[in-house]
Structure 1
């Protein structure tokens, strides 16, 4: 039985729990859970928002009960930041090329309220403020530049739509103020520039660098698994894992 905390993986925009499978395959001895965020899906009419996502993360962590480390990738950093401190059993938050923001911030506040060029936005103003969704344009370049081509194409085919509400709503909590945190920088990320990652990572207790694109769970899952083992070990022992 593993002596490590449970590991909860929270995907980013457009993705689902499917994206973590190559990484999970390299962590067979750990208790790994994944969270499906309500803000992502294929039917725009039922997409949730940031607070729905935070609730899903909190529910998954609370169900574990014991020591837990939560990983948020990309947008997934937002609901993790919103929810992780309140649950009580989170020993560390790991931001994987993720948004590590403060109370009052939203995804769009990072870019002055302007949608990034690789977002394909579908607004639905008649249904209320911030209604609608967005898809990703040119995902092979933005998300999967260093992923094996066949796997990259398979992943593109599985991407969903992301609610606009999830990226306009502000954080009301910021877990990294009270929960130990690690930031994993992806140095060749085409979706979240390295300079922006580094600015956010300055808030973290620890930083790790990967020479990878935006999706290392697909492009180099073995190396990411090694890094996560180190951080799990540090969260309980204050040192690196002897299994790395």
Structure 2
């Protein structure tokens, strides 16, 4: 019996590069993994010259985006193709972080028989509501993202994508971003992570059909790793996702684990997360 391959789906404005420290730890524990670049990300991302220093705000607002028109369905088809190839070498465990959970849920709806297990790491697992409805809920009220200054660098409707200016030098904005992502980290760790992010993200967050479906998604063993210090996706919202999913598939509830980590802390200091994933592969 071959050991599983982990397929890792990044969160918003992220790419495969951010998973490298976790993949190193998994490899040292004897586990294969590969990190995915969703369409419009990685080396296919658009990083306009206007995004460099010194920045050109007007140019940044109008430069074309590689994420324009990219749909959740595009991301699902892309990941499904990778999973099919990885399955040639044994079972596949797909892991989604943050917004990557939306792709993960839709993937399990579409291809449940390809997946040995799916794992959410403080990731969106929409069951009873849309992302916008969850964001308007009491469980999301404590999110530090609600306190962020406007970091949009372009009109989403005109650009066809969400464009963020992560390379801002404004100290108040940087402090708010650190609180939302890596409050427990050093300033150097935070800036290193921030410089991995890409400016653009797709607008499409799917349809009600992309929420967890009991007949397909509900057949796949699933784990939720709660990040107890997460200030972006509050613990109350993570627990709501778990509760709603368990009510949807009471015969196949979430296997729930917890890590003491902010939203991206487990990527910066990945030892515990890698050990937890390794335990899932070995069980």
2:125 match: secondary structure? coil
Relative to 1, partners in 2 of residues 1:10 and 1:126: Cα closer, same or farther, differing over 3 Å? closer
Relative to 1, partners in 2 of residues 1:166 and 1:197: Cα closer, same or farther, differing over 3 Å? same
1:100 corresponds in structure 2 to 125
Q: Which runs of 5+ in 1 are unaligned?
A: 235-244
Q: Contact between 1:12 and 1:73, CA under 8 Å: does it hold in 2?
A: yes
- Count residues in correspondence: 228
1:214 corresponds in structure 2 to 263
Quote the offset at 1:52 in angstroms.
1.7
- Summarize deviations over 1:54-83 as a string: whole Å, max 9, x none: 122111111112311010000000001101
Q: Contact between 2:15 and 2:38, CA under 8 Å: does it hold in 1?
A: yes
2:38 corresponds in structure 1 to 37
1:10 corresponds in structure 2 to 9
CA distance in 2, matches of 1:117, 1:176: 34
CA distance in 2, matches of 1:195, 1:208: 15
Q: Which has the higher contact order (CA 8 A, sep 6+)?
A: 2
CA distance in 2, matches of 1:109, 1:76: 18
1:172 corresponds in structure 2 to 209
| Structure showing the higher helix proportion among its residues | 2
Quote the offset at 1:3 in angstroms.
4.2
Relative to 1, partners in 2 of residues 1:197 and 1:39: Cα closer, same or farther, differing over 3 Å? farther
What's the Cα RMSD here? 2.6
Quote the offset at 1:117 in angstroms.
4.7
Of 157, 162, 170, 1:125 maps to 157
| Structure showing the higher strand proportion among its residues | 1
The structure that has the greater radius of gyration is: 2
2:92 corresponds in structure 1 to 68
Relative to 1, partners in 2 of residues 1:206 and 1:170: Cα closer, same or farther, differing over 3 Å? same
Q: Contact between 2:223 and 2:256, CA under 8 Å: does it hold in 1?
A: yes
Farther off after superposition, 85-94 or 187-196: 85-94
2:26 match: secondary structure? coil
Mapping for residues 71-220 of structure 1, pairs under 5 Å: 71-87=95-111, 88-102=113-127, 105-112=129-136, 116-118=146-148, 120-121=151-152, 122-126=154-158, 131-135=160-164, 138-167=176-205, 169-173=206-210, 174=212, 176-202=217-243, 203=245, 204-220=253-269
2:238 match: secondary structure? helix
Q: Which runs of 5+ in 2 are unaligned?
A: 48-63, 167-172, 246-252
Relative to 1, partners in 2 of residues 1:176 and 1:216: Cα closer, same or farther, differing over 3 Å? farther
Structure 1 length normalisation: TM-score?
0.82
Q: Contact between 1:74 and 1:98, CA under 8 Å: does it hold in 2?
A: yes
Quote the offset at 1:39 in angstroms.
5.0
